[in-house]
Structure 1
């Protein structure tokens, strides 16, 4: 089968198209014929050798995908060959992948493969952080950092669907305008205004009940200051690749709560993502959510997808086409 492999850590140029043996579905596994694979920051970190869970090359990147079931291993129920599915796993920059059945969710009609490939990491992350960790409720205010990113653009829609007030922070005027097109009224252009002062102004000085920090580094300290009394700050990444220096006085006097999120660890400790994935996919298929796909790049040109992501010029999701 065709795949893209990393034989040594480095820049986008180390993503090399290769031919490798076809995998087979073992007991409890599903063999998926991949049609589209999502491109994520974790893939970039893996490629560069900076990912905290990285093994040693050779490695095939790819954590999320959509495709059809090619075969099922012994003991698998709930999916059958030919069924369209969304997949969480590893090594998904490939035509075929064998993944645990617990990480494969059927897809409804009405959702395309490129859209579906964006759900297992990006949308599931935003969904779990807002609904399960933050417990966001109708009428509350949520600040979404890097709102033009994949997770950010998902989060603003999920939050709005819950009846929350969204304050979206974007890194440029162009990105702020694009986030506004998703239906967000309160958008802060961080290149033109101080996000801390703007959130204070928009909340009458009280801060937000929930802050979703998708950036990390110095932004995490900002997120703590933007939180309201008894606010909840959810930290899910450090794409800044910098330490977070904080002042504990920015959160403990407010009785604020800090929650961390890492999807792979969560699943390894017992989380079954299938029910949440099915609900998200159903809402996308019904038109309740829009999955913005910035670019669809052929598998063999995965290096171009990584270059685009690393320039941070994308708005929404980048997807590899594996057909």
Structure 2
């Protein structure tokens, strides 16, 4: 089968198209003929071995796939440790979800990582309450574009989006944000308060890191919460001082999707069920960000790293 393989760590140049044997499903796994794979910013970290979970070489990258099982089920799935950039892949049965009729591959792949992440951030990490203000950084991205929509659906009083270009800010407004500001504001603390009519903000969803995180934390109102779920800038924020959190009655919460599968009660499955329902009811939509063939995968990673993308990116393993 055709696949992308990494045999040494680095940037987009380490992604190499090759022929590999078909994978074999083990106990508790499902073999899937891949129609589309998801391309995520986390994949760029995996390629350089800077992700939360360390990578063993060689590896076929890619953590999410859509396709057909051998018994004719149309599914979307999270793989275990990679394997998605290929014509066939295996995934744990526990992280494989049936795709309802009327939901396309783009939408299914938008929901299984980005949608579930946005759901968990708002429902579980920050516990959004009706009327609260919500800042969504990178609001035109995969998680951000869904988080904007969910925050409005679930009663946010004011949704403040940040994005790097006019087109991305317009997209955020089209998705329901009340205001959209530049992600390159020199003083993000003041910019967020101004965007919230002079008031401090209640919730920040942050995947930027560095000074954006520091300044967003400084913009929180008492009992405000910042949920940190990525570090796209590749810059660490300043250390968090618990005394300052106490003095401001604020909180910082980290969130990594794999941990959610350890929660009792099938939380991720509940999230997926609700997200699929919202899509079928016309209340939630995926934002297409572009599709790449196997020979274009290096360009896809270059586009991700350069923040040139918006919405959901797909890889077609058959072209």
Bigger shift: residues 39-48 or 299-308: 299-308
Under a length normalisation based on structure 2, what TM-score does the superposition of the two structures give? 0.91
Q: C-alpha distance in 1, partners of 2:267/2:27?
A: 18
Please say if residues 62 and 92 of structure 1, whose CA atoms lie closer than 8 Å, have aligned partners that are also in contact: yes
Match of 2:125 in 1: 133
Under a length normalisation based on structure 1, what TM-score does the superposition of the two structures give? 0.90
Pick the aligned partner of 1:105 from 92, 97, 111.
97
Please say if residues 119 and 277 of structure 1, whose CA atoms lie closer than 8 Å, have aligned partners that are also in contact: yes
Please say if residues 2 and 95 of structure 1, whose CA atoms lie closer than 8 Å, have aligned partners that are also in contact: yes
Q: C-alpha distance in 2, partners of 1:186/1:83?
A: 42
Deviations 1:12-54 (A, max 9, x none): 1221112211122222111111111111111101112222323
Q: C-alpha distance in 1, partners of 2:12/2:197?
A: 45
Match of 1:189 in 2: 182
Match of 2:141 in 1: 149
Match of 2:17 in 1: 17
Equivalent positions of 1:199-218 (< 5 A) are: 199-218=192-211
Match of 1:87 in 2: 77
Q: C-alpha distance in 2, partners of 1:190/1:15?
A: 30
Equivalent positions of 1:1-323 (< 5 A) are: 1-70=1-70, 81-89=71-79, 90-164=82-156, 165-191=158-184, 194-246=187-239, 248=241, 251-267=245-261, 273-323=268-318
Q: C-alpha distance in 1, partners of 2:197/2:245?
A: 18
Q: Secondary structure at the match of 1:168?
A: strand
1:278 deviation in Å?
2.5
Structure 1: segments with no counterpart, 5+ residues: 71-80
1:301 deviation in Å?
2.2
Give me the CA root mean square deviation.
2.0
Bigger shift: residues 159-168 or 200-209: 200-209
Q: C-alpha distance in 2, partners of 1:191/1:172?
A: 9
Q: C-alpha distance in 1, partners of 2:65/2:278?
A: 18
Please say if residues 297 and 319 of structure 1, whose CA atoms lie closer than 8 Å, have aligned partners that are also in contact: yes
Q: Secondary structure at the match of 1:117?
A: helix
Q: C-alpha distance in 2, partners of 1:187/1:36?
A: 31
Bigger shift: residues 90-99 or 262-271: 262-271
Please say if residues 109 and 285 of structure 1, whose CA atoms lie closer than 8 Å, have aligned partners that are also in contact: no
Q: C-alpha distance in 1, partners of 2:106/2:194?
A: 39
Q: C-alpha distance in 1, partners of 2:131/2:168?
A: 25
Please say if residues 297 and 305 of structure 1, whose CA atoms lie closer than 8 Å, have aligned partners that are also in contact: yes
Bigger shift: residues 118-127 or 168-177: 168-177
Deviations 1:194-223 (A, max 9, x none): 432232123344322211112112221122
Bigger shift: residues 238-247 or 252-261: 238-247
1:277 deviation in Å?
1.6
Q: C-alpha distance in 2, partners of 1:187/1:198?
A: 10
Structure 2: segments with no counterpart, 5+ residues: none
Please say if residues 221 and 246 of structure 1, whose CA atoms lie closer than 8 Å, have aligned partners that are also in contact: no
Bigger shift: residues 197-206 or 289-298: 197-206
Q: C-alpha distance in 1, partners of 2:122/2:85?
A: 29
